[in-house]
Amino acid sequence: MSLINNENLYKPTYTYGEHEVIKRNNFRYYKINNLLVPSVTSILRVSRSTQGFKYSTKQSDSFEIGNLMHDYLDKYVTNKSIYTENSKNSKIACELSKVIIDNIFPKVTSFIASEATVHHQYNFAGTLDLLAQIDNKLTIIDYKSSYRKKSRHLIDEHFQQLAAYAIAHDNMHNTDIKQAMLFIVYKESYEFEILTAELSLLNEYKFMWQDKLKYYNEVSV
């Protein structure tokens, strides 16, 4: 099975460095100018208990499917041909990618960046899934795949993640990201949700993120 992008909407505008990701004590850090900068997702995880968490086979498959889906979509956006393997997880990831390609990408007028690392003054860092122009608004997008419906709390956390990336990108590249979009596709039904935080709501999530960052800095001293 192959996914081929026949359109030329990829218009890379900014330069992003490649940074090594290091795991220590179940935390992810980005090595930026020889400094270890905590990842946004790790900072968010501090505010919720994950101690004693064990991965099941289904959860292990879920991570592999999610990683494959992100890889396929990145190659699609950047006009690289994708040829998937015949494994079960690869086929599922391909089908999930097609749901996103068919239902969210038609809204895009240009792809600005894909799988790009951003950071904010060495305070936090992360990798955004997609930056694009949608409805004449610079939009930051995150893809999520899931077996079950996500709770309101988890959705809020995903938007705080996007808010952090927006803060970092605006600071690094003098941009003005106007909205955040969360695209959730479900692994068994292939149904999907598109959730949007326009500017006023995005600003609220930025405040929530700042609170989480403050808490992380307090407990990590």
pLDDT tens readout for residues 117-150: 999 999 999 999 999 999 999 999 999 999 899 9
- The tens digit of pLDDT for each residue in 174-215 reads 999 999 999 999 988 999 999 999 999 999 999 999 999 999
CA distance 147 to 129: 20
Domains and CATH numbers, the chain: 2-219 (3.40.1350.10)
pLDDT, position 4: 60
The model scores a pTM over 0.85:
yes
CA distance 103 to 145: 14
